[in-house]
Structure 1
Amino acid sequence: MELNSDPDRLFPVDPRTREIARGLYASVAELPIISPHGHVDPRMLLDDEPFPNPADLLLRYDHYVTRLLHASGIHLNELGVPDRSGAAPTAEPREAWRNFCANWHLFAGTASGYWFRHEFTELFGITEQPDASNADRLYDMISEVLKLPSFRPRALFADFGIEVLATTDDPLDDLAAHDALAADPLFTGRVTPTFRPDAYLNPASPAFISNIERLAAWNGTAADDYAGYVSALEQRRRHFVEHGAFSADHGVLQPLTVDLDRDEAASLYARAVRGKLSDAEAAVFQGHMLLESARMSVEDGLVMTVHPGVARNHSTPTFERFGPDTGHDVPVRTEYVENLRPLLQRYGNIPDFHLVLFSVDETSYSREIAPLAGFYQSLYIGAPWWFLDAPDAVQRFRSAVTETAGFYRSSGFIDDTRAFLSIPARHDMARRLDSAFLARLVAEGRLDEPMAQKIAIDLVDSLPRKVFKL
């Protein structure tokens, strides 16, 4: 069966609206990619080594892919995912690739399937559907492309048109890879770190105590010294700012903020470092530190992004054997209005404080996030991410938030990916979908075409620059 890349993909079906969408898309198709939140390892660009093989590049690190194959009975070891024992995966890369190709039909209609089609046709020139019979041939075809100098990470970075790429980094990271990239005259792209303190703020994190001990040792203070703990976090944030960071990212189960006085916070903290907090107390302390993080953002200027609503590591046996980010994180219902009230009461109308709220709970967009963003000056609506960064969900998102908050209270598209090759596919998808949405408003007489074109361009360019203070 033929695999093709339809130039009108994701555009409306009716001819008049499709023609409008084509014109809008043409105005943004070649604009640079701004990627202010993602998970690409900066060392990949620093080392600039050839990608090892198709399975390692396209399957192993993409939990969108491994989770769906696992659900169909293919063990993670058979997809090249190593376990924590250090034992080699049971499948060699070629065998993992065969497992994927034989089950290509599982990705029909999914966002991953859409991105793969883009990557296969646009990057590798593949024109046939993967299946069991052609798996080895496709593996060899891709392997030959991976040997080309034009397919090294830095060459692709330039070819993809990436202007800004933000990574996600541990607070104690020395950021040496970022420094080396910034100092390299042969690399002209902008790769910036992002301060990600979750495991230092959440006492329920398995790594909390060890992280606090490392942070205290770096700061030269006792681990149970709350003032020293807060000061160390502030200093590490400044270190990130000095190394080009523009945002601090927070992954939480619920966007709870709690206003504690200093003595209450210090008491909880002292017990947290001894592992003596209940789950409820741990949530309260994390909520207090989320509020403290907002204070720090007001002071140091880092954009505060909040990614709530995901129950991490739902399968305990899988987590114990394979670790985190292996496909078994699951969305939960999320509440913003009351949970964020303490934060918004203090900082919601400070114009230079930027708070970007994300959600994997679609019901929250129209019910809570858009109304909040339609009032508070500091608050912006994060793009659909993770389980919602799919064509139909993106269109539902635009419908849910636009009538309440308009286009200009949103963040612009966020790819949020570890899969480097999918970055242009994801951004192209977003540009097509926004063009389609705007084209419908034009066709319905709700928007004139010049304004639609301005909005299309702003969603790709000026909005992410503004929201993330680029």
Structure 2
Amino acid sequence: MTISPVGNQLFPPNERVRELAAELHAEVADAPIISPHGHVDPRLLADNIPFHDPAELFLTHDHYVTRLLHASGVSLSDLGLDADCVVDPREAWRILAVNWHRFAGTASGYWLSHELSSLFDVDEELSAETADRIYDRIASALGKPDFRPRALFDRFRIDVLATTDDPLDDLAPHARLAADPAFRGRVLPTFRPDAYLDPEAPGFSDRVGRLLSTTSKPTTFDGYLEALQERREYFIDHGAVSTDHGVVEPFTAELDRATAEQLFRAAMAGTADSSATRLFRGHMLFQMARMSVSDGLVMTVHPGVYRNHHRPTFERFGPDTGHDIPVRTEYTRNLHALLNAFGTSPSFHLVLFAVDETVYSREIAPLAGFYPSVFIGAPWWFLDAPDAIQRWRSAVTETAGFYRSSGFIDDTRAFLSIPARHDAARRSDAVFLARLVAEERVSLPTARRIARDLVDTIPREVFKL
């Protein structure tokens, strides 16, 4: 069995809609990639070191892939995720090849097939028989200059790539890239303060202590806020345009200064109970919005994920190893305090994501359809697959239209998958628009404009690029 060329993949069988989808996709197929939220390590591009091997490139760092293999009985150690265990990358690759059929119909299977075909001209499917042959082909290509990270960055036509960074990161790789005249494109840091805002996060008081020490601020709530603001300004000076908040619950609350000071002292002492920590988290999410109104950073909220669900896996292999599981999300009541205070502030942009599909039509689209500050985040994480993107468009468009959405977000550590993910989103949007044209609900010229705006104008406006 062979891997089909990208061609008309993801387009529907209906001939008229298929033709329209192909025409609309052609409008944006070669458009530059704007990636305003992701997790690629900036050192990859700053150092421009060649990729080691096919397993590292496609397997080891992609928890979409490793989680499904683990569910099929494969040990994460055998995939190279155990730092104390040396694994032959060819053997790890063979495991992927033997289990390739398990990825049929998944977004991961589509992305990997797209990468193998478009980057390495692989026209046969992975299997036990083809594993070594395909491994050798990829390994040979990785030794060439045009497969180094910077060359691929140019080949992918990436215009903007945002990373995700700790508030105390010195952002040295970003500074090196910005100062390098040979590097084209923008690699922007993103302020991710979760571990400094949640008293229940491991090492919270130690982290906040380092934050206060680094910024020479007193151990008071006012000093804490000033320290966070100073680090935000540092990020802005290094090109940041947004903040990222990966909360479980997007609860917000406005507190008076005395109550906030009391909760802060309890949090630092480790004596705050669950009710107090929830209230403190809610107030700090409110404070992050207040700061965004002031400094202009776009505020993105990624809620609803129970992180590190399997404790033994977390303790052995660490975070981001495939066992983060979605939970329900509620926005309307949780954001009431924040939106009443800042929802109509002209300079405030708030992008709301979800992995709970029910919240899109029930809450996010209606909120974005009223509040000028609210934008609908693209399908995220478990929902960034072709069918889910179609469901998402159907859920939000009739209420809020296309122009209250954020543009596609790839949200990935897997650098080589970025063009595959963006192309899948562009194809899915082309199919959705084609159906509207075929049903005479949108004119073809308008559909062409929307297709172009979804990959350029909209993300640039939402993320202030």
TM-score between the two structures when normalised by the length of structure 2: 0.99
Alpha-carbon deviations, 1:245-284, whole Å to 9, x = none?
0001100001100111111111111111111112222111
Question: Structure 2 residue aligned with 1:178, among 164, 174, 191?
Answer: 174
1:273 is paired with a residue of what secondary structure? Answer: helix
- One-letter identity of the residue aligned with 2:409: I
1:117 aligns with 2:113: yes
Q: What RMSD in Å do the two structures reach over aligned CA positions?
A: 0.8
Equivalent-residue separation in structure 1 for 2:346 and 2:18 (angstroms): 38
Quote how far apart the aligned CAs of 1:174 are.
0.7
1:61-460 matched pairs, under 5 angstroms: 61-83=61-83, 87-89=84-86, 91-222=87-218, 224-460=219-455
Contact persistence 2:97–2:128 (CA under 8 A): yes
Quote how far apart the aligned CAs of 1:348 are.
0.6
Quote how far apart the aligned CAs of 1:4 are.
1.7
- One-letter identity of the residue aligned with 1:358: F
2:246 is paired with a residue of what secondary structure? Answer: strand
2:300 is paired with a residue of what secondary structure? Answer: strand
Equivalent-residue separation in structure 2 for 1:56 and 1:8 (angstroms): 30
Contact persistence 2:6–2:114 (CA under 8 A): no
In the alignment, structure 1 segments of 5+ residues that lack a partner are none
Match of 2:29 in 1: 29
Quote how far apart the aligned CAs of 1:360 are.
0.2
Contact persistence 1:219–1:228 (CA under 8 A): no
Contact persistence 2:17–2:435 (CA under 8 A): yes
Equivalent-residue separation in structure 2 for 1:207 and 1:469 (angstroms): 33
Alpha-carbon deviations, 1:51-86, whole Å to 9, x = none?
000001111111000000001110101001024xxx
- One-letter identity of the residue aligned with 2:213: A
1:33-72 matched pairs, under 5 angstroms: 33-72=33-72
- One-letter identity of the residue aligned with 1:175: L
- One-letter identity of the residue aligned with 1:300: D
Alpha-carbon deviations, 1:299-351, whole Å to 9, x = none?
00000000000000000000111111000000000000000000000111112
**Over 3 Å off, 4+ runs:** none
Equivalent-residue separation in structure 2 for 1:283 and 1:186 (angstroms): 47
Equivalent-residue separation in structure 1 for 2:243 and 2:382 (angstroms): 22
Paired residues, number: 465
Alpha-carbon deviations, 1:404-448, whole Å to 9, x = none?
000000000000000000000000001100000000000001111
2:34 is paired with a residue of what secondary structure? Answer: strand
Match of 1:9 in 2: 9
Equivalent-residue separation in structure 1 for 2:333 and 2:217 (angstroms): 35
1:203 is paired with a residue of what secondary structure? Answer: coil
1:164 is paired with a residue of what secondary structure? Answer: strand
- One-letter identity of the residue aligned with 1:233: L
Contact persistence 1:60–1:81 (CA under 8 A): yes
Equivalent-residue separation in structure 2 for 1:284 and 1:191 (angstroms): 35
1:101 is paired with a residue of what secondary structure? Answer: helix
Quote how far apart the aligned CAs of 1:233 are.
0.1
In percent, how many aligned pairs have the same letter? 63
- One-letter identity of the residue aligned with 1:5: P
Contact persistence 1:309–1:333 (CA under 8 A): yes
Equivalent-residue separation in structure 2 for 1:104 and 1:14 (angstroms): 29
Equivalent-residue separation in structure 1 for 2:431 and 2:292 (angstroms): 36
Bigger drift between 208-217 and 110-119 goes to 208-217
- One-letter identity of the residue aligned with 1:100: L
Equivalent-residue separation in structure 1 for 2:353 and 2:79 (angstroms): 30
Contact persistence 2:66–2:321 (CA under 8 A): yes
Equivalent-residue separation in structure 2 for 1:438 and 1:117 (angstroms): 25
2:37 is paired with a residue of what secondary structure? Answer: coil
Equivalent-residue separation in structure 1 for 2:131 and 2:275 (angstroms): 50
Contact persistence 2:38–2:411 (CA under 8 A): yes
2:402 is paired with a residue of what secondary structure? Answer: coil
Match of 1:20 in 2: 20
- One-letter identity of the residue aligned with 1:204: E
